[in-house]
């Protein structure tokens, strides 16, 4: 009984923190959209609606990220396609056994938003800060329904005409249908953007995250590295291909889970701010000493970036 009361109190406190985090994001969207800024500053506004289908929900990978490799056509200030998250595109079963057996497929929908600003600190560099929030709902695996909100800050640096980089620090609160997954997470990421040829875009990303869940079964440290290439077919159409390698070291599973994700996709700009995209991901997850599990993931997204 005492444990139940403690857990209920902790849950209520986390719900309050989530509300306190999400509401400022909405407020920032309204405030930044209506407030004039000096020439040396700018606004970061982004939103995305994404529909996905997975044929095999896999392992403890429910912290979804919008795209395996990250988008290519977003604004310079940061877009939802670059939102930090160690989970990749996959979902997860209530209990991960590492058996590699096939499970039912499922549809999910994700709504994301971010708002913030940046200020130039020189000709080739800028500091930024933003808040972000997303909600994901599954059709069948409702224990994986999630609301994730957080803040991030960092710096963008232009190193040359065809090379730029970004350093980002972030913190997140995660709330799930299965409350044992609820967690606080902290992390850092480094991105490099390159344009070696007029029609070729490259983006590399390395990331570290410390995820501390209410249940030790879902507590982990994770590292990931990925690369995405984009080919500009026209001024408004980009074809993408990417690869991402993720390692999660869980506290109580006694092994590391490695996940390889290969992706193919496209992004079509409808206007300066709006775009649509589609992506196919092949995700292969394998725990130490266990059989690998495959998940084929198909997604469509509508995006806004200011």
CATH number at residue 290: 2.40.160.40
User: What percent of the chain shows pLDDT beyond 70?
Assistant: 72
Average pLDDT, the chain: 80
Rg (CA), the chain: 19
Residue 290 confidence class, pLDDT cut points 50, 70, 90: confident
Find the domain containing 148 and state its range.
2-305
The region of weakest confidence among 95-99, 155-159, 185-189 is 95-99
For residue 9, the 8-state DSSP code is H
pTM for this one?
0.79
**What tens digit of pLDDT does each residue of 201-253 get?**
999 999 999 999 998 888 999 999 999 999 999 999 999 999 999 999 988 75
Find the Cα–Cα–Cα–Cα dihedral 58, 202, 224, 284, rounded to 10°: 30
Q: How many domains does the chain have?
A: 1
Distance separating alpha carbons of residues 14 and 22, to the nearest angstrom: 12
CA–CA dist 124, 106 (Å, integer): 45
Six-digit token string for 229:
């290439």
Among residues 215, 224, 206, 284, the alpha carbon closest in space to that of 250 is found at: 215
Quick one: which of 120, 56, 100 has its CA closest to 295?
56
Given a cut of 70, is residue 70 above it in pLDDT?
A: no
Of the given ranges (99-108, 140-149, 225-234), which has the lowest mean pLDDT? 99-108
Distance CA 35, CA 25 (A): 15
Rounded to the nearest angstrom, the gap between the alpha carbon of residue 13 and the centroid of all alpha carbons in its chain is: 24
**DSSP, residue by residue, 180-237:** GG-EEEEEEEEEEEEEEETTEEEEEEEEEEEEEESSGGG-EEEEEEEEEEEEESSSSE
Pick from 283, 148, 136: nearest CA to 211: 148
């Amino acid at each position: 009984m005492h444990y139940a009361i403690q857990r209920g109190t902790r849950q209520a406190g986390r719900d309050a923190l989530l509300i306190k985090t999400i509401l400022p994001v909405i407020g920032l969207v309204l405030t930044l959209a209506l407030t004039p800024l000096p020439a040396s500053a700018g606004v970061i506004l982004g939103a995305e609606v994404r529909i996905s289908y997975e044929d095999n929900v896999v392992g403890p990978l429910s912290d979804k990220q919008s795209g395996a490799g990250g988008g290519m056509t977003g604004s310079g200030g940061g877009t939802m396609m670059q939102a930090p998250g160690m989970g990749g595109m996959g979902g997860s079963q209530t209990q991960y056994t590492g058996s590699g057996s096939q499970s039912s497929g499922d549809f999910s929908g994700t709504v994301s938003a971010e708002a913030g600003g940046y200020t130039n600190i020189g000709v080739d560099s800028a500091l930024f800060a933003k808040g972000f929030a997303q909600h994901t709902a599954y059709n069948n695996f409702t224990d994986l329904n999630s609301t994730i909100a957080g803040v991030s800050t960092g710096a963008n640096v232009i190193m040359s005409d065809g090379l730029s980089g970004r350093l980002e620090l972030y913190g997140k609160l995660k709330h799930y249908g299965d409350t044992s997954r609820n967690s606080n997470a902290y992390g850092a990421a480094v991105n490099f953007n390159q344009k070696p040829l007029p029609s070729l875009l490259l983006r590399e990303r390395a990331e570290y995250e410390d995820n501390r869940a209410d249940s030790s079964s879902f507590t982990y440290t994770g590292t990931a590295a990925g690369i995405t290439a984009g080919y500009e077919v026209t001024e408004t159409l980009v074809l993408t291909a990417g690869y991402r390698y993720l390692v999660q070291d869980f506290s109580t599973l006694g092994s590391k889970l490695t996940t390889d994700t290969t992706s193919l996709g496209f992004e079509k700009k409808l206007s300066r701010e709006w775009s649509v995209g589609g992506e196919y991901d092949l995700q292969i997850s394998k725990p130490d000493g266990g059989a690998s599990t495959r998940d084929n993931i198909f997604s469509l997204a509508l995006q806004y970036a200011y």
